[in-house]
A and B are shown apart, each in its own frame.
Chain A
Amino acid sequence: MFITQIVNWISTLSPDVLTRGLRVAVTVVIGLVLVRLLAVVTQRYIMKKSTPQRQMIVRKIISYTGFFIVLMAVLGELGVKLTALLGAAGIVGIAVGFASQTSVSNIISGLFLISEKPFAIGDVLKVGGTTGIIQSIDLLSVKIRTFDNLFVRIPNEKILSSEVTNITRFPIRRMDIVFQVDHGQDLSRIHGVLSAIASANPWSLDEPEPVIMFTEFKESGIEVMLGLWFAKTDFMDLKNTIMKDISARFAAEGIRFAHPRRMVRISPTPADAPRRRKARSTVARGRATSAPTA
Chain B
Amino acid sequence: MEKTGIAVWDPVEIPQKKCAMWRFPLRSIWVERIETEWHVLSLPERREHGDAAYRLVARSQKPPSSQWRHYLHRDIGTMQPSPVLPDRPVVMRPDRALTLLPGQSTIFFLELPVWFRLSTSGYRPAKVFEEPLSVLTRTWFGDPVTGELCWGLATRLHHSIESVDPAADRAVCPLMIENDSESDLEFQKICIHVENLSIFRGTWHLWTNSLLAVFKGPDQATQIEIVHTPPGFEEGMVPLSEARLPSTGWNIRRTFGMLKYFTDF
**With A and B bound together, what is the CA distance between A171 and B91 in angstroms?**
17
The residue that A206 contacts in the complex, of B135, B137, B147, with Cβ under 8 A, is B137
The residue that A172 contacts in the complex, of B91, B144, B152, with Cβ under 8 A, is B144
**With A and B bound together, what is the CA distance between A234 and B140 in angstroms?**
14
**With A and B bound together, what is the CA distance between A215 and B144 in angstroms?**
24
A245 to chain B, nearest CB (A): 15
Q: Taking chain B's interface residues, is the majority helix, strand, or loop, or is none over half, making it mixed?
A: strand
Q: How many A-B residue pairs have CB under 8 A?
A: 37
**With A and B bound together, what is the CA distance between A203 and B139 in angstroms?**
10
A260 to chain B, nearest CB (A): 36
B144 with A207: CB separation less than 8 A: no
The 0/1 profile, CB within 8 Å of A marked 1, for residues 126-158 of chain B is: 000000000101111100110101001000000
**Contact count band on A:** 10 to 19
A207 with B139: CB separation less than 8 A: yes
B138 with A205: CB separation less than 8 A: yes
**With A and B bound together, what is the CA distance between A202 and B147 in angstroms?**
19
Q: Kindly state whether residue A122 has any CB partner on chain B within 8 Å.
A: no
The count of chain B contact residues (Cβ–Cβ below 8 Å) is: 13
The residue that A231 contacts in the complex, of B137, B138, B152, B189, with Cβ under 8 A, is B138
**With A and B bound together, what is the CA distance between A208 and B144 in angstroms?**
8
Q: Determine the chain A residues whose CB is within 8 A of the CB of B144 once the complex forms.
A: 170-172, 208
A40 to chain B, nearest CB (A): 31
Q: Determine the chain A residues whose CB is within 8 A of the CB of B135 once the complex forms.
A: 202
The residue that B149 contacts in the complex, of A199, A204, A231, with Cβ under 8 A, is A231
B138 with A171: CB separation less than 8 A: no
Closest to A203 in B: B138
Are A207 and B152 also in contact (CB < 8 A) when A172-B144, A231-B138 are?
Answer: yes
Interface residues of A in 108-160 (CB under 8 A from B): none
List 10 A-B pairs, minimum CB-CB distance, nearest first: A207-B139, A206-B137, A206-B139, A205-B138, A205-B140, A207-B140, A206-B152, A231-B149, A205-B139, A172-B144
